[in-house]
Structures are given as structure tokens and as C-alpha cells.
Structure 1
Amino acid sequence: MLLRLAGPLQSWGERSVFGSRDTLSIPTRSALTGMFAAAEGRRRSEPLDDYTPLGFTVRIDRPGRLLEDFHTVGGGLPASRTVPTSEGKRRSPDSATVISRRHYLTDAVFVVAVTGPDALLSRLAEALETPVWAPSLGRRACVPDEPLILRTRVDDPVTELTQHVPLSLARPPAPGRTTTPVDFIWDTPPHNQTADTQRYETTDVPLSFAPDDRRFGSRPLWRTTEHLPASLYTPRPSSPALITYALSDPANQEPA
């Protein structure tokens, strides 16, 4: 399955707490799992084991820009309406204002190949088409652009990402160039590893979303730069080419 994650704001937190809510530079496994679970209407306390077989390959069309939102809650309110404490009481007037810094990516675009068992992917595609809770890009306020789903069934996702899916670049390739460099993130070792391949780890594997038992594990990632056909570039706004691509999904075609 191919997803296009784009919108005015995205936020892919890894170590967020209330006072400081970070974002990674790419979509996290925990946020994508949360998107699927929300679309299926799962409660936070339900197990996540059946999502374990999913794999993710991320193509970074536009990395976006980092935005920091200086956010305050509770200031200027009477004592009876200030932010509650963990004990259920109310904050005193001199500590009523709660400050947090929330980080977002603006104008970012990612195309994600989601791999896994056919039955699981079909179930998730159906849930995203008719979600119980609307998909979001890391936080509920981060609404995705359309089309979110580009393809529901892809036999060779790497070839689709490198040869067929239109590129939503921030600027056109240099004149006369037949290829353009695009960064990829892999959660399995890429076949074309070079000396420039970067390996690192993230702590974004969700083990439990339960409010009183949130737990995450780590996973390795690999970053490469692939040289894609410059002809894939589509000028902004890019939705017409992408919608055409999405509508040409063979899984949506009537049998002959």
C-alpha cells in the first residue's frame, strides 16, 4: 500500500512530554500504527501485535521546515478554572499558566510504502477509506491533504517509489538533468548500500498505547539517496497528477 503524507503541519514525536513536544524529521512507526488503529476504531488499551508484520519505506519528497509553537494554557483564568493538577486540585494563580513548546514540520511531503500480509493491508486500506476516527499526521490537529491513499495493492513498492509515483519536490530539477536526488528511509537494509548509507536507531516501535502503560521499543533505520527520473517531478499544486495516479490503481479497476 502506498500513502502520501502531506499537509500544512505534521508532527512525529519520539520523546514528547507535555512541556516539550518534539518532532522527528520523518513519520514514525508509532504514529503510523496509531493512524491505522484509530481508523479501525481501536481503544488505546487494545493489543498491537497484529501490526508487527508491517514494514515501512519512506520517500522524502519535501523534508519541510521546523516550526516551534510557543503555547500557553490556563493563563488569566479565575482559580476555579485553572489547569488541574495530578491530584485533581487547581493551580494557584501564580502557577496557573502552563507553558509548552510544540514542534511541527511545515510544508513536508512523504510517500510511504507499507508492506505486510495481503489480508492485513486490505483491512487497513478499507479502514482508511472509511475510518472510525479520522487519520492525522502525528497529531489530531494535523489534517492530511488528499489523496492520502495512492495505491492499495503494490507488487513491487520500491519500483513504484523510484519509477512511477509523481514527485512533489519543493523546486524543479536542475535544467538538463535527467535524474534528481531523493532521500529514502528503510526499516530493512537496502540492497544498494554504499559508503554513504547511514544507519541509526529510533525509539518509535509501539508496544502499548494504554494511557497508564505507554511503552516503546527501538528499531534500526537506514538512509540512502536515490537518483530518480526527473520526469517524475510535477509542478505545484501537484494534486492533479497524484489523483490521476491514485485513480489508476489496478486494485480499483473493473475486471475485463
Structure 2
Amino acid sequence: MKYENILSETQDGIAQITINRPKKLNALNKETISELNRAFRLAEGDAEVKVVILTGSGEKAFVAGADISEFSDYSEEEGKELAAEGQRLLFDYVANFSKPVIAAVNGFALGGGLELAMAAHFRIASDNAKMGLPEVSLGVIPGYGGTQRLPQLVGKGRAMEMIMTAGMIDANQALQYNLVNHVTTVEELLPFAEKLAGKIMKNSLVAISAAIKAVNSNYKEGVNGFEVEIEEFGNAFGTEDFKEGTSAFLNKRKASFPGK
């Protein structure tokens, strides 16, 4: 499929989705969010895709924020609809994606860019990355899940400080905060992401999908994560992957998971 604002290619089981608006530092607008939704939907339906790596084009920015010019004159109701639609189409969709999503954060990840990275299942960053939620400096607050996901990842106090000061932290501080899992050089970022994807793909992707569902359930109001874990654990016993995994273990051989 042809896109105007993103690139998407699949190789060796990995779909790399790249936000490609370098002149705008890969800022998110409605069309980019819509295209990302389409790319993720295609990746979800493609049996060849096992892992998604999400990144930005160039070395300056992952996503430098939302395209402010697009909504600067919105009314209150339009603002609410903007946030709700963005969360539905992209941010919540990525967070609950059934296949692993790794955010490879290259350069600036600000505002909606950091919110998109936080929606991924985990993050790695290049050593030139800068992250922050500057929305209050514009008289607004994060609207794509930032007030919810940032405290989950770094703790309430640090999240409050980042949001209230509208400041940026660098990659090493993000690592210290547990906002990212690893920091690499710019050159090593995507190869390292691919290496992690390779490790993931050796395991049962059926089980990984169930694990994503179980982990996410702990953060949903009114849902007992332990009960979801029990349900998904039991469901695993009915899969071909479980039969293959246990058989391989008992027979001291490498598992070859059918993905069913």
C-alpha cells in the first residue's frame, strides 16, 4: 500500500513502520495517524509479520509532537473528539496490538511522539534521544494517553515533574527512569531492535499475544489482571504451540512453534 506520511516494509518476519515527515520532524497529523492505523491493521492481518518495529525517519526525530497548526483553533468538543479518535485509531490500538511492538526512538520524542512510544510494548532509544511532554507550555495537557502511561512507566512523582515542567530528559535519564529498556548509538539502534525482535520470534507468538493481553489487563479499570492471567494460562493448554513447546522441552530439542 502507498502512503504519503509513513513507510512500511516487511522482511524476515519484522514489519518496520517509519513515520516519514522529516521536514516536520515527523510530527503527527490526522492523516499520519490514519496511515499508521492502516499499516498496523495490515501488519496484524499478515501471518508473515511476527514483530513490529516503530521508528521515525532520519536521525533528528522519532516524532517531535503533534502538528499544532492542525488544531490550534479547535473548540472544546473538537478537542475531545481529537483525543478520543487518536486514542482509538492509534495509541490504544498499538498498546493492545496482538503482536509485539518495539519503539526505536531516534532523536526527539515529544508530546504525541512520546505518547506513541509509550503505547508500544517497550522502547529502546538512541543516545541522542530527547523525551518529554511539553503540552502544558501550550496551555493544554497530553491527550493521547500521556497522563496515564507515563506514571505507569516512571512513577507518579517523576511523571508529575515531567508534565508540570514541560521539560525534556535525555536517553540516559530515560533509561534511569525505566522509560526505555536500552540505549544504543544512532547507528546501532535499528540493528539492535532487529536483534531483540529475533529473540522474540524464537518463542511462541501465540503465548506472547496472550501475555500482552494479560499484562495490559492490570491497567484496565474494573478488570482483575490475575483472573485474566488464569484464563489465558488455561487457554494456552489448548494450543498447538503448547504441545510443541512442552514436547520439545521433554525431548531436549529446539521448539518449532506452528503459531496456532
Same fold flag (TM > 0.5): no
**Length-normalised TM-score, structure 2:** 0.30
Q: Does 1 or 2 have the higher relative contact order (CA < 8 Å, sep 6+)?
A: 1
Between Structure 1 and Structure 2, whose CA radius of gyration is higher? 1
User: Which of the pair is proportionally richer in helix?
Assistant: 2
